[in-house]
Amino acid sequence: MKTWYKVLLITLGTALPAFVLGPIIWPPDPHGAAPSGLQLLLFVALAALESLTLGLGVAFISCGLPLVRRVANGSRARTWITFIATACLLISWWPHDNMHKHNGMDLDGLLMIEYLFHVSMMVAGVVLAYTFVWALQMAPATGQARDQRIAHAASGD
């Protein structure tokens, strides 16, 4: 079976139940404001996107490690921090948003959600930026024109 087909099956096989189970696992705060018609549609679309991203994260966990190993070029530490950071960025949206809906405006709960998810996303972004820059530095140069484009982009000109 082709990898893209496995990824599609895993993504949809995870996303559909996640979409249904989100409000069951984390029922919305009964004291929160009720969304209007358009707001409700936008919230449903957001929940669908988050469920799909969760599914893609599960597919990445299932199929992505060999690719990350290749990018990390033999470094076990870089492989695992990159793999975990990418997986966290993909899967965290679903519980994050559902926890917000469930928490409402309880400030202690809000602070816990913000620190748990936002700080971990910041760390994951730093890890991915480090890995990306490292991979670019290790990539073989393919000519002077390419080197000049990279230098130009790095200088911000």
Sole residue written with tokens 């024109």: 145
| Residues in Cβ contact with 105 at an 8 Å cutoff, skipping those fewer than 6 apart | 29, 32
Residue 28 backbone phi and psi in degrees, to 5: -60, 150
pTM: 0.82
The string of pLDDT tens digits covering residues 89-133 is: 999 999 999 999 999 989 999 999 999 999 999 999 999 999 999
The pLDDT, as a whole number, for residue 140 is: 82
Cα-based torsion angle of the residue sequence 114, 51, 16, 11 in order, rounded to the nearest 10 degrees? -130
Residue 52 and residue 43: Cα distance in Å, rounded? 14
Q: 90, 60 in Cβ contact below 8 A? A: yes
Please give the pLDDT value at position 54.
98
- Mean pLDDT, range 43-62, rounded to an integer: 97
